[in-house]
A = this chain, B = another copy of it.
Amino acid sequence: MIHDILIHNGLLVTMDKDSRIIEKGAVLIKNGEIADLGPESDLIDADAGRKIDASGKIIMPGLINCHPHLPMTMFRGLADDLPLDVWLNEHIFPAEASQVNPGSAAQWSLHACREMLLGGITTCCDGYFHEDHVVKAIHESGIRAIAAQGVIDFPAPGVPDPGENIAAARNFVEATKDISSIITPSIFCHSPYTCSEATLTAAKQAADDLGVLFQIHVAETKNERNMIQDLGNRSIVQYLNEIGLLDKNTLMIHAVWIDDNDMEMIYQSGAGVAHCPESNMKLASGICPAAKLIEKGVRVGLGTDGCASNNDLDLFAEMDTAAKLQKVALLDPCAMDAKTTVQTATIRGAAALGLDGVTGSIQKGKQADIILVDTDKPHLIPMFDVYSSLVYSAKSSDVDLVMVQGRVLVQKGRLL
């Protein structure tokens, strides 16, 4: 049975819409849900079977990784510092063909979930192949997840006949939707350059029919538009918009090569964006105008991308890089300030995934996806502003405790 839990005596960073911070705060958790929060003095006598003393620690919502490709953890560091075509065609694609199977997908997804939990990530939004086996690993780990079966117009792991790709995705969603209250199925079209218009629209139709999130890589590289047939004078975003792919149930991943018109179109469509700056840098793809998208009102979350192109699943490092990259790209030190950056890794990320009613901030009625960050480290002293400390100084290794839906999965920096 799950005890009621009181986390108290910590610096409570709620990430709610008022960005409320309570210096000596407490959170009461009942049945995996946040039942109350406030100053410690108001809650200290609450009836809770377990009390967690968070003195010297930051209490904050768990981080949200909008794009990890979990099984690709097996390819961490397999091939780096190479031209994109050599990297893909001579290393990643052959490795995927020979090494991705149900067993390896599950094994490395579990490994990935453990790495994420240790680093304070409580929700991930995955997309890959053999996703039914990925889901088994997610379930075992206890992390919250959106999990999507991949759709691509090539033979793929588990789907040798591309003609079956939509049916496989539909079957995956049906088979997954009742496994766990914290795992939500989804459909993930690889990209507009690897899927025909017919595939793209059929996959989006399937996602709409089933009421699930539709994910797609969009405008990642400069050369991408050359790879898309029948694009004509349209931008990639315009193309996807015209064929009905962009709406509030769509997550666009990368969105690097987009202009002001594209940004307006994304905003109007209501689609969310998964921003993966470290992957975009390492693969030399380019720089997503994330600060502009956020300013416009687009729901932007942060993602690590897979371990073949980052090479880790560390959102603390990603926050630091995300903030600094926007500043140098715009030559504006005010761009992507620390608070906004923490939001992209928490509440904005949750919103991009459509999960902001459930997680992403510490608010009454939300699920208790909460982490404690230990501030008793030389690199976190002094601390003038908690958002600055979290973005520019904190490391994933400072995460002390992690709970998902009130269930403690990491304690004293170790997996339970």
Question: Which chain B residues lie closer than 8 Å to A77 at the CB level?
Answer: 382-385, 388-389, 392-393
The answer, yes or no, to whether A94 is at the interface (CB within 8 Å) is no
Q: Are A392 and B282 in contact (CB under 8 A)?
A: yes
The answer, yes or no, to whether A379 is at the interface (CB within 8 Å) is yes
Question: Which chain B residues lie closer than 8 Å to A382 at the CB level?
Answer: 74, 76-78
Range of interface residues on chain A?
35 or more
Interface residues of A in 249-308 (CB under 8 A from B): 278, 280-287
Give the distance in Å from the alpha carbon of A188 to the alpha carbon of B115 in the complex.
Answer: 43
A312-B392, A333-B283 given; A80·B397 CB < 8 A: no
Give the distance in Å from the alpha carbon of A161 to the alpha carbon of B405 in the complex.
Answer: 62
Q: Are B378 and A81 in contact (CB under 8 A)?
A: no
Interface residues of A in 326-385 (CB under 8 A from B): 327-328, 330-335, 337-338, 378-379, 381-385
Question: Which chain B residues lie closer than 8 Å to A285 at the CB level?
Answer: 328
**Minimal beta-carbon separation of A415 from chain B (angstroms):** 9
- Quickly give the copy total for this chain: 2
**Interface residue from B284, B314, B337, B384 paired with A379 (Cβ < 8 Å):** B314
**Minimal beta-carbon separation of A20 from chain B (angstroms):** 20
Q: Are A378 and B118 in contact (CB under 8 A)?
A: yes
Give the distance in Å from the alpha carbon of A78 to the alpha carbon of B388 in the complex.
Answer: 9
Q: Are B74 and A333 in contact (CB under 8 A)?
A: no
The answer, yes or no, to whether A82 is at the interface (CB within 8 Å) is yes
**Interface residue from B87, B325, B332, B338 paired with A333 (Cβ < 8 Å):** B87
With most chain B CB atoms within 10 A of its CB, the pick from A74, A84, A324, A384 is: A324
Question: Which chain B residues lie closer than 8 Å to A205 at the CB level?
Answer: none
A285-B328, A392-B312 given; A115·B378 CB < 8 A: yes
11 A–B contacts from the bound complex (CB under 8 Å): A77-B382, A77-B385, A80-B337, A281-B327, A281-B328, A284-B330, A311-B389, A312-B379, A312-B392, A314-B395, A395-B397
Nearest 8 pairs between A and B by C-beta?
A: A397-B397, A281-B324, A81-B337, A311-B392, A115-B378, A281-B328, A284-B333, A77-B388
